[in-house]
Structure 1
Amino acid sequence: MSRLSDLIRQAKAADSQLGADLEREFRALTKRRSFGLVFERHQPEAVELAGRPVRKGDKVHILPPRGSRSRGDQRLWAVTGFEGRGENRAAKLVEAGQVEEPESMVALVADLVVVAEFRDHIYPGLIETGRVERGGDKPFHTVINAENFHALEMLTYTHRHAIDAIYIDPPYNSGAKDWKYNNDYVESDDDYRHSKWLAMMERRLLIARELLNPADSVLIVTIDEKEYLRLGLLVEQMFPEARIQMVSSVINPGGASRTAAFTRVDEYIFFVKIGSAAPAKHSNDMLFTDASEPDENRSPIWRGMLRGGSGPLRGDSPSKFYPVLVDRKTGAVVGAGEPLPIGVDRATYTPPDGLDAVWPLKRGGVEGRWELNAATFEFRRSQGYVRAGDPNRRTGVRTIYYLRNAEMERLESGELISRGMNDRGFLDIDYNPERERTLPAKTVWNRQSHNATEYGSNLLKSFLPNRKFPYPKSLYAVEDTLRFFIDDKPNAIVLDFFSGSGTTAHAVMRLNKQDGGRRQCISVTNNEVSAEEQTRLRRQGLRPGDADWEKLGICDYITKPRITAAITGKTPEGEPITGDYKFTDEFPMAEGFEENAAFFTLTYEGPLSVAHHRAFARIAPMLWLRAGARGPIITEIGDKGWDLTNVYGVLDDLDTAARFVTEVKKTPGVAMVYIVTDDDLAFQMVCRELPKGVRPVQLYESYLRNFEINSGRFA
């Protein structure tokens, strides 16, 4: 509809009456509503690929002159050829999308930037830009510098249905230049700000849904008050089979002021639980802060047996209206009388000598009913699971307590311990001091460790002194959030495609250290600089793609250095990181982690280059990722026609297949092999010779087919 608004303005300029008529009809259409979340999906997004070589057939923008702060010519041009060489090399351009009399021109290649539209086919590759290794044979964490929509498309080849948890902290759409749509910042006065945000999120979540394990996985999205309502509706529509819950988490106890509004101290976390995914119980219910969580906040062991909630009256369940008999001297529960039929006055019942009859009476003497029928009550009493409280000093009435099913299970599991039957005929039960208690988390989180200023911004300064990143998450908040779903998955794969400073990968490393896990995190971020930084750099005559511009981008300036510093225990300047990790696992930050990480930049390949085996070096990291991101990457095939690691192999020359298969059989760790051939029969012949359990993949048929199918599905 934003496009229609532009066309109406043009129509008004040419014919005011026609423009007014069109606008009136347009407004009438916009008042119509459909069920569910309705928003304008806009034209498919486009992204400028600074640094990508310009090729014939590319779509490009013409950059503004150096030193200019304008957006430049936003028309889209198609490259039809080239002329000249060196600094004078120029591209022949024709205006894209214009059927009748398109404009043509010639522009220096240095003044062009390639544009990728999201409805276009892409054939991605990866170029490694660095790595850090301290984790032996553990899987690598990976950082991918890319437009996240295209990185997600790439992951459909390497990780379809393989992701255990996605944690994302997307732009909150504050209007403060915190995100771009079609290469331009979305301002607070943009009439289509919310629908642009929804369109951006929907495209990415569509692919994320393809990556999550449908049997057991979780999508976790953090958000604040500006978009949480729309986000909730969006995920409900996109994941109808999932169980969705929202948590409120205190991240700034001091509060963030809002004009003419309450001071905000929290944000929201959506949990989209897929398949059998469910939050694990832990030792903390998340409601009370770390520093002031007394033992009395534990749930009580004994519960009153008087029915509360729905159906609490005698007439609601007559079989549960009976007297509980208590020894007047000892206070021991000795049994129960028969249920009293409706219409029979309880005053007609006379208890045996020496016993008191305790009835299920509510406040004011209203006749209620017990939680248990008489037979179940008698069984639990015989097991020591029922007791009577002392007489009330004012009324003389006793309260009857019992163990619920949950407490009986905790007793069997060892979380509760019994010291045996006491002289009043019930079990003496307490919490096991040697057993960590487990509680279901509540929907309001108030943890000192989740303070985003103290354990987000200030903690990041310890790793990257003198470098700034806006609003990083508390490391411990992300760690706690993920723990609920991957604590029992030591080999979990976690994805964060709005990675920013790299907190999610850092949190996964923390979880691995606590239990010896081999979890891996895939972090996707771009290399944009902040809006404020862009202004300064443009004044200096710099443009995206220049080395002095790119070195200040998020990926190169923050994400990669932060993850490297976390692993090595040293700042980018080589100094030991000062301070200690706190809370769940306390140790000096300078110790680092026994982890591995590799850094990549996404590339855009030509399908013919891929099919003709000319892009193998850029496709190779994707094959390594798909095989588990362990060990070395096979980046080239030698004269022997194949190569093999302890994890996967690549067969390039089918004439050497026999020798290759023999080596695969000698290497028990190999779980996947890639066979380069377009001959289906030859591929099947090699497959038949492979050991059981080794998964064969045909190159490049599987790669090309994956991205041909993807085209347009998610745009």
Structure 2
Amino acid sequence: MTRVSNLESMLSQLDGDQSVKDGIRSLLKFGLVFEDSQPEVLRLYSGRVTSGCRVDNRSPDIDRFGTVERSPRGVTLDAGVRPVRWDDEPDTIDYVAETSLVPIAKPGESVYPGLDVIDTVERGGGKPHHVVIEGENLHALQALRYTHAGKVDCIYIDPPYNTGGDLIYNDKYLAKEDAFRHSKWLSFMDRRLRIARELLSDTGVIIVAIDDNEQAHLRLLMDEVFGASNFLANVVWEGSGKNHARYTSGGLDYMLVYGRDRTALDAADTRWVETKQGYEKCVTEAARIWAGANGDVDAATAAYRRWLRGQDGIETSLRTHYTEIDEEGRVYQRDNLAQPSPNRPNLRYDVLHPTTGLPVKRHPNGWRHDPARMARNIAEGRVLFGPDHTTTPRYKRVLTDQEAQAIRPNFEQSRMPSSVRLNSLLGEQRFDYPKDEVVLAKWIRAVTGRKVNATVLDFFGGSGSTMHAVMEMNAADGGSRHCILVTNNEVEERQRARLVAAGHFPGDPEFDKHGIFQHVTHPRIKTVATGIREDGSVYSEGVAENVTFARMTYTSRQSVKIGRDFNTIAPLLWLKAGGHGGVLRVDGTNLPQFLVGGHYGVLFESGAGAVSAFAIGIEDAGLEDGADVFVITDDDTRYAHACQRLTNYTVHRLYEDYLSNFEVRA
């Protein structure tokens, strides 16, 4: 910082063109400074190998870039063979099996993503579908910028911690010895966080889990992306430390929490609260004890205190203060009624004992409440008098009135229980150290203000803990929260090396079946929803939720523009419209005049007659005011006419608007 100040001083003393000095100033960067780097290529394993596309050798250990050419005239190629002009041999054409190639995108090249629905679970009636997307999360975020800009209430992510061997960069694990690994990680995160910010609503909140390795760097990056004024919390999660560590036991993770706009959160009177630990257990046990106490308050209180002594997982205040049961079977504590301030003479009034009729003993500062409030407390039985006026009364604070408290920014929770639960759910151990869905549910519930229809996003979805948490939250309170989870199909590093050595590469069924999406996330979420494990055994009764599983795929600008690939982008239109019901698709190459579902519609022909028919169709289908409708036309006049005719609905223009929104910078 001193050197920057010195440079500013030197610039102010220089003679010459002001524009030159301003140009030098524009190069100064304050705050976090890192070497901005981009992967050389992104491999699009779910993309199609077509004429004109750029490709690489499918083996992740061999980089050889080239361009797929059109088949030469008069040459008949075997099925699945493509002519490729390699960059290192531009004067020759090599005929290569399509299975040996993978499409690629270089930085600055546009790609056009779509979704291929591969599985669905429908048990939630009219609720919106949760959506699991397998694919490159940078491209998924670009797609979600089209479908969900300004709509997301909470983003939770658990990105790679960059400890060495946990981040894939250029299709290879980033080594701990890489001198630029911090810059590469920051570049990787920076691009994704900037898009994530656009997805949040004004009162939206993002939670990013991290450990000591990158926490300091991430805090500075998030200050830059979200604004330091929008910082909300640095939560400390103490898990399982090491007893024999040299310095400290460690075991800490962090959750950096930022708002999209803190002023909007303040204006909404946002308050993050949590249920006190052990509250439900205490209330349930007290009710059981009271039911068998035959109205004996002393016996119930004694039994409850005995039970408390043997319990774990109950907050200290509930164990030490709330220890009595009253005549209605409620747990309560005897609290102080004294006024803490000596400067409130109006609160120094007499309170008469109900038996002796004489003023009771009070604190010199007076009472905590004014006379009207005190009278109300006495009438409600909230003031506990002693046997006579010589004792100071106490306030009866009932536990059921104190369920919630401001959420604490530090907590202890072993990571072992979440692993045990996931192993039980899957029927075997498939994934180490999943994030705890119970902890995630607590924080998602807190930051969304208990909004039961919140939209939640996790674009480092991993094993699926975030969606699992949201589904369990809905099951607990009848909510209709909607979760979008993006994960790749990454294979564990050692397993990946074994598969590659055996000649199995990403995109091959033998390789992909070991990936996290296929092996963990998909079966986990499906089992939570249906209650049935992959092997057919029963795990639970399931939950009343709808889930769509989709794989990110890619198309071309031309294919979209001429309507050839409508079904590829159709799931994104469905998602933009709320993700209710089924995806509207076309059958074959013959496009209908329009399609209408229960929640959105698509108009393929934009003439006046077609627009009128469409308006009648969506009205007959019962679409609500404000529902999303998509009009396919390049004609400005026709689009304007459609907007005038469909004033009760939210009109979107295809395909040019789609293409401009989906020019994803790889």
- Verify same fold: TM over 0.5: yes
Alignment match, 1:688: 644
**Aligned: 1:477 with 2:439:** yes
Tell me how far 1:482 sits from its aligned partner: 0.7
**Aligned: 1:209 with 2:161:** no
Corresponding residue to 2:247 among 261, 265, 276 = 261
**Aligned: 1:442 with 2:408:** yes
Alignment match, 2:395: 429
Q: Distance in 2 between matches of 1:481 and 1:61?
A: 43
Matches within 5 A, 1:459-608: 459-577=421-539, 590-608=540-558
Corresponding residue to 2:346 among 364, 379, 396 = 379
SS at match of 1:238: helix
Alignment match, 1:93: 85
Whichever residue aligns with residue 652 of structure 1, its letter is: F
The 8 Å contact of residues 592 and 604 in structure 2, kept in 1 or not, is answered as no
Tell me how far 1:442 sits from its aligned partner: 2.0
Q: Distance in 2 between matches of 1:488 and 1:122?
A: 38
Compare 670-679 and 490-499 and name the one that shifted more: 670-679
Alignment match, 2:383: 419
SS at match of 1:129: strand
Whichever residue aligns with residue 568 of structure 2, its letter is: R
Structure 1 unaligned regions, length at least 5: 1-31, 65-69, 307-370, 392-397, 578-589
**Aligned: 1:71 with 2:38:** no
Tell me how far 1:652 sits from its aligned partner: 1.1
Alignment match, 1:290: 313
Tell me how far 1:425 sits from its aligned partner: 11
Corresponding residue to 1:41 among 23, 28, 36 = 36
Q: Distance in 1 between matches of 2:40 and 2:366?
A: 63
Tell me how far 1:496 sits from its aligned partner: 0.2
Tell me how far 1:87 sits from its aligned partner: 5.5
TM superposition score normalised by structure 1: 0.73
Alignment match, 2:172: 184
1:557-591 CA distance string (max 9 Å, x none) = 111110000011111111111xxxxxxxxxxxx12
The 8 Å contact of residues 44 and 119 in structure 1, kept in 2 or not, is answered as no
Tell me how far 1:466 sits from its aligned partner: 2.6
Alpha-carbon spacing, 1:138–1:190, altered in 2? closer, same or farther (3 Å): same
The 8 Å contact of residues 463 and 570 in structure 1, kept in 2 or not, is answered as no
Alignment match, 1:453: 416
The 8 Å contact of residues 95 and 104 in structure 1, kept in 2 or not, is answered as no
Corresponding residue to 2:616 among 662, 673, 696 = 662
Question: Share of identical aligned residues, percent?
Answer: 32
Alignment match, 1:316: none
1:234-265 CA distance string (max 9 Å, x none) = 1111111413310111232xx24786332223
Alpha-carbon spacing, 1:492–1:305, altered in 2? closer, same or farther (3 Å): same
Whichever residue aligns with residue 645 of structure 1, its letter is: G
Structure 2 unaligned regions, length at least 5: 1-26, 280-310, 323-332, 352-358
1:22-78 CA distance string (max 9 Å, x none) = xxxxxxxxxx995311111113563212242212332222244xxxxx811x24333
Q: Distance in 1 between matches of 2:518 and 2:377?
A: 49
Corresponding residue to 2:133 among 141, 144, 151 = 144
Q: Distance in 2 between matches of 1:123 and 1:427?
A: 72
Matches within 5 A, 1:100-499: 106-108=94-96, 109-175=98-164, 177-213=165-201, 215-240=202-227, 241-252=229-240, 255-256=241-242, 260-275=246-261, 276-277=264-265, 278-284=270-276, 290-291=313-314, 293-295=316-318, 296=320, 302=336, 371=341, 373=343, 377-382=344-349, 400=365, 403=368, 418-419=382-383, 428-446=394-412, 450-454=413-417, 456-499=418-461
Q: Distance in 1 between matches of 2:374 and 2:578?
A: 39
Whichever residue aligns with residue 702 of structure 1, its letter is: D
SS at match of 1:164: strand
Tell me how far 1:498 sits from its aligned partner: 0.4
The 8 Å contact of residues 278 and 315 in structure 2, kept in 1 or not, is answered as no
1:508-560 CA distance string (max 9 Å, x none) = 01111122111010000011211111122123321111111112211111111
Alignment match, 2:294: none
The 8 Å contact of residues 419 and 427 in structure 1, kept in 2 or not, is answered as yes
Alignment match, 1:349: none
Alpha-carbon spacing, 1:543–1:44, altered in 2? closer, same or farther (3 Å): closer
1:78-114 CA distance string (max 9 Å, x none) = 3344465336713322428xxxx96755251332222
Whichever residue aligns with residue 208 of structure 1, its letter is: A
Whichever residue aligns with residue 267 of structure 1, its letter is: D
The 8 Å contact of residues 126 and 600 in structure 1, kept in 2 or not, is answered as yes
Alpha-carbon spacing, 1:412–1:600, altered in 2? closer, same or farther (3 Å): farther
Q: Distance in 2 between matches of 1:695 and 1:282?
A: 37
Alpha-carbon spacing, 1:401–1:183, altered in 2? closer, same or farther (3 Å): farther
Q: Distance in 1 between matches of 2:374 and 2:113?
A: 52
Whichever residue aligns with residue 129 of structure 1, its letter is: I
TM superposition score normalised by structure 2: 0.78
Alignment match, 2:356: none
Whichever residue aligns with residue 92 of structure 1, its letter is: V
In the alignment of these two chains, the number of paired residues is: 570
Alpha-carbon spacing, 1:458–1:400, altered in 2? closer, same or farther (3 Å): same
1:429-466 CA distance string (max 9 Å, x none) = 222344343211222112xxx43211x21111111123
The 8 Å contact of residues 68 and 82 in structure 2, kept in 1 or not, is answered as no
**Aligned: 1:652 with 2:578:** no
Alpha-carbon spacing, 1:160–1:51, altered in 2? closer, same or farther (3 Å): closer
Alignment match, 1:706: 661
Corresponding residue to 1:697 among 642, 652, 657 = 652
Q: Distance in 1 between matches of 2:360 and 2:420?
A: 52
Q: Distance in 1 between matches of 2:443 and 2:121?
A: 26
SS at match of 2:406: coil
Tell me how far 1:279 sits from its aligned partner: 4.6
The 8 Å contact of residues 168 and 499 in structure 1, kept in 2 or not, is answered as yes
Alpha-carbon spacing, 1:487–1:680, altered in 2? closer, same or farther (3 Å): same
Tell me how far 1:486 sits from its aligned partner: 2.3
Alpha-carbon spacing, 1:678–1:445, altered in 2? closer, same or farther (3 Å): same
**Aligned: 1:57 with 2:52:** yes
**Aligned: 1:617 with 2:576:** no
The 8 Å contact of residues 95 and 103 in structure 1, kept in 2 or not, is answered as no
The 8 Å contact of residues 51 and 544 in structure 1, kept in 2 or not, is answered as no
